[in-house]
């Protein structure tokens, strides 16, 4: 049976999963890259970007398990830094012509836009009528495969608050960000029925696997 999952979301010890002031030069926000410095050295990440080498180990094994989904859902910030109505059709995402998703990918927005078909099997669909609509569309195309919620933090919080996420993987980084976008602020995960299922120490992060109780 397919699940709704969050995987490989970095979080600092003070609870932030993105930095401030997202921009073209800082797609993860200021200092946000530090949250993913467990992922960038891995063999999985290096090969995704056409390189060779990279580190194998616990972090790499967990990173590799974060792919193979039937569909993705992204908040608009995960697609680009543009706010408000789309000024034109030129911006097609952070990743160039061949994004890393390779499946239908649903972008949450308040402003409709026609789908964008990219290389490698990724098609961006823009959903302007909420998370339930996006999830219904994603599950329909995913079939037996899981749907991955790709972030950002506000989108993950919205899905958690609605108890729509079955499994959540947090890569807890040994650092303080100081300020940024919190991942779990305002949520009572215990009351929502979530629990830590297992904890796996990696080379550069402690991996917390959180599940929704039946």
| CATH architecture of residue range(s) 4-17+29-81+97-212 | 3-Layer(aba) Sandwich (3.40)
Token pair recorded at residue 2: 């397919």
pLDDT along the chain (214 residues), means of 10: 94 97 86 95 90 94 92 94 86 87 96 94 96 97 96 96 98 97 97 97 98 90
pLDDT at 105: 97
Give residue 49's pLDDT.
80
N-terminal to C-terminal alpha carbon distance within the chain: 14
Joined together, the tokens standing for residue 150 give: 């790709």
Sequence spans of domains, the chain: 4-17+29-81+97-212
- For residue 28, what pLDDT is reported? 86
Q: Is 174 exposed, middle or buried (0-12, 13-18, 19+ CB in 10 A)?
A: exposed
The per-residue pLDDT for 87 is: 85
Residues with Cβ within 8 Å of residue 56, at least 6 apart in sequence: 42, 43
Contacts of 31 (CB under 8 A, 6+ apart): 19, 177, 178, 180
Give the pLDDT confidence score for residue 91 in this predicted structure: 87
pTM: 0.94
- Distance between CA 124 and CA 21 in Å, rounded? 24
């Amino acid at each position: 049976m397919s699940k709704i999952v969050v995987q490989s979301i970095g979080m600092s010890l003070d609870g932030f999963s993105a930095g401030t002031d997202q921009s073209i030069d800082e797609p993860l926000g200021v200092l946000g890259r530090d949250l993913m410095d467990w992922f960038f050295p891995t063999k999985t990440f290096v090969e995704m970007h056409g390189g060779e080498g990279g580190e194998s180990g616990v972090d790499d094994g967990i990173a590799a398990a974060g792919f193979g989904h039937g569909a993705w859902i992204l908040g608009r910030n995960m697609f680009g830094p543009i706010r408000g109505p789309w000024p034109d059709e030129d911006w097609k995402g952070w990743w160039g012509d061949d994004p890393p998703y390779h499946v239908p990918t649903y972008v949450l927005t308040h402003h409709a836009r026609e789908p964008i078909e990219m290389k490698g099997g990724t098609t961006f669909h823009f959903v302007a009528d909420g998370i339930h609509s996006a999830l219904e569309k994603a599950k329909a195309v995913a079939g037996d495969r899981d749907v991955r919620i790709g972030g950002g933090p506000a989108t993950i919080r919205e899905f958690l608050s609605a108890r729509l996420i079955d499994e959540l993987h947090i890569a807890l980084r040994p650092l303080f960000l100081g300020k940024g976008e919190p991942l779990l602020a305002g949520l009572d995960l215990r009351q929502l029925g979530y629990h830590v299922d297992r904890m796996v120490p990696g080379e550069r992060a402690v991996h917390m696997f959180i599940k929704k109780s039946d």
